[in-house]
Chains A and B, each alone.
Chain A
Amino acid sequence: GAVVSQHPSWVICKSGTSVKIECRSLDFQATTMFWYRQFPKQSLMLMATSNEGSKATYEQGVEKDKFLINHASLTLSTLTVTSAHPEDSSFYICSAMLRDTNIHFGNGTRLTVT
């Protein structure tokens, strides 16, 4: 079946540094990838929608200059958390959509900013 690989699965970084998270669709071409963030005891919150070859569409309240999203190919999207701060510590999850609207999720990345 379709698989979405997200890397790294966990990362610890110092405040002020940047972290890049990769999301790959391994056996299908994903025209659209979604990035979510999950706060403790809350449901997933959509951060942005990434379409291959175009700029990502960010949800209201999400800083586009802080959360840089690049979708350079049909199998890869990246989320870069720039100048990370402790409040950015969270669980970040990507998903990729097939043309028939089936959506598959990555395993998530737990980011801890110290």
Chain B
Amino acid sequence: GQNIDQPTEMTATEGAIVQINCTYQTSGFNGLFWYQQHAGEAPTFLSYNVLDGLEEKGRFSSFLSRSKGYSYLLLKELQMKDSASYLCAAMDSNYQLIWGAGTKLIIKP
């Protein structure tokens, strides 16, 4: 079956670095997405990886290893506004998005 696993909740300190991991199993693979979602709002696109390696975009970076079915989202210089849920989603061969349950990130001062 198709499955996405990511931690339910993580806590980090303002100014620090946090890594949110995601493992996936899908029928075929057309990329791995990371989204940020604040309570009551639609998800906001953060990153898309389809090739192995690290993609850096400002304070946020995303890594993909297709052979391991593994990705992570790295957030640096954490700010209070980064408190949100972070959703990992893998796209299968039919372009369907398989979503994880999301990781709630709590930032403490």
Contacts and interface: CB of A to CB of B under 8 A. Distances in A.
Real binding pair: yes
Contacts of A103: 33, 45, 97
Interface residues of A, number: 19
A105 B87 contact: no
25 contacts: A32-B95, A42-B101, A43-B87, A43-B99, A43-B100, A43-B101, A43-B102, A44-B99, A45-B99, A49-B95, A49-B96, A93-B42, A101-B48, A101-B50, A101-B91, A101-B95, A102-B48, A103-B33, A103-B45, A103-B97, A104-B45, A105-B35, A105-B43, A105-B44, A106-B42
A107 B42 contact: yes
A68 interface: no
Interface of B: 30-31, 33, 35, 41-45, 48, 50, 87, 91, 95-97, 99-102
B31 A101 contact: yes
A97 interface: yes
A46 interface: yes
Given A44-B43, A107-B42, 14 more contacts: A43-B87, A43-B99, A43-B101, A93-B42, A93-B43, A97-B95, A101-B30, A101-B48, A102-B45, A103-B33, A105-B42, A105-B43, A105-B44, A106-B42
